[in-house]
Copies of this chain bind each other. A is one copy, B any other.
């Protein structure tokens, strides 16, 4: 057993250390096709080379969430194998689109540590950076997780909680080089609604729903080389259920949001995210969005829109938290992100 990876415990992290994650991964049209099979993804920029070229890109980029999942998946064996909970995301920047043929790798810097008062676990804050084969940063983001202690007698580290931006400022958003929406084809994209048609505070029920199967979420989670046992092994949890990777719900909700947000083409910022309740096979996932903010960019015809994306497994849309301030039991995901949209 000595040669297998037991995962890190809370006391194994050192503030400031950098962890190089295995395993680099080359993505291709195969990953793109699987993404379209796993999720009802229809955003035109990631679907069509021709549409992407008409928008100034060389070819259709991989869906931004392929980038996210690939970068994230590599961190699991080092960051969250012994995690009790995935607590949050912040300061996510999608910096360079990923193309077929690119090879991605990840590393994480430990930027905060805080032992819990019970002495049995602690919170680890990491900034994860994904790079392509040209050493360009394709994505970086902060994530914090609660991790068990392996040795309860290990001394508590100095508490350092990083100051994190509540929202990625619009000025920090990176518009892909060459992106130009001035000749954007709304008919091919699927909806006529442009940046100016959305109002801050507006809510959109995306209407469609997808009932999730075990085979699907496992195919997806393996594809991103996420190794957490709880997603794959029906004998692991006492209730015999496999917990669905939170990222599967993110992608499902994002894809469902096409219906009403077809022109929110690229994710460029990840402001915050909470996996409010667990998702299991048999749940029917639906989604709704709320416009949180809007901003201009310097790219021709390109605006930025800040959206709350909520995934649910039942219940009415637009309901998020109860009177106690806690997420309602049917809420699966509360994600806050920036996307690019034609003006």
- Interface positions of A (Cβ within 8 A of B): 1, 3-5, 20, 22-34, 36-44, 47-51, 59-60, 77, 100-101, 103, 105, 133, 187-191, 193, 197, 204-211, 213-216, 218-220, 222-223, 225, 227, 229, 232-236, 242, 259-262, 282, 284
Contacts and interface: CB of A to CB of B under 8 A. Distances in A.
B20 A48 contact: no
24 contacts: A1-B204, A3-B193, A22-B187, A23-B188, A24-B47, A25-B47, A26-B49, A26-B59, A28-B100, A30-B30, A40-B225, A40-B232, A48-B105, A50-B103, A208-B233, A209-B229, A209-B232, A209-B235, A211-B232, A213-B214, A215-B215, A227-B259, A233-B284, A234-B282
A143 B262 CA distance: 26
Nearest to A3: B260
Given A26-B60, A103-B48, A260-B4, A222 B34 contact: no
Q: Which of A4, A38, A188 has most B Cβ within 10 Å?
A: A4
Given A26-B50, A28-B29, A206-B4, A222 B39 contact: yes
B42 A22 contact: yes
A31 B100 CA distance: 14
Contacts of A41: 222
B22 A44 contact: yes
Contacts of A213: 213-215, 218
The 3 closest A-B pairs by CB, nearest first: A30-B33, A28-B29, A22-B190
Contact of A216 (B43, B218, B236, B261): B218
B44 A242 contact: no
Number of identical monomers bound together in the oligomeric complex: 3
A50 to B, nearest CB: 4
Given A208-B227, A213-B214, A229-B209, A50 B22 contact: no
A38 to B, nearest CB: 7
Given A29-B28, A30-B30, A1 B39 contact: no
A108 to B, nearest CB: 13
B227 A42 contact: yes
Contacts of A100: 28-29
Contacts of A193: 3
Given A40-B225, A208-B229, 13 more contacts: A1-B207, A5-B191, A22-B44, A22-B187, A22-B191, A23-B189, A27-B33, A29-B100, A30-B33, A34-B34, A40-B232, A209-B233, A209-B235
Contacts of A26: 47-50, 59-60
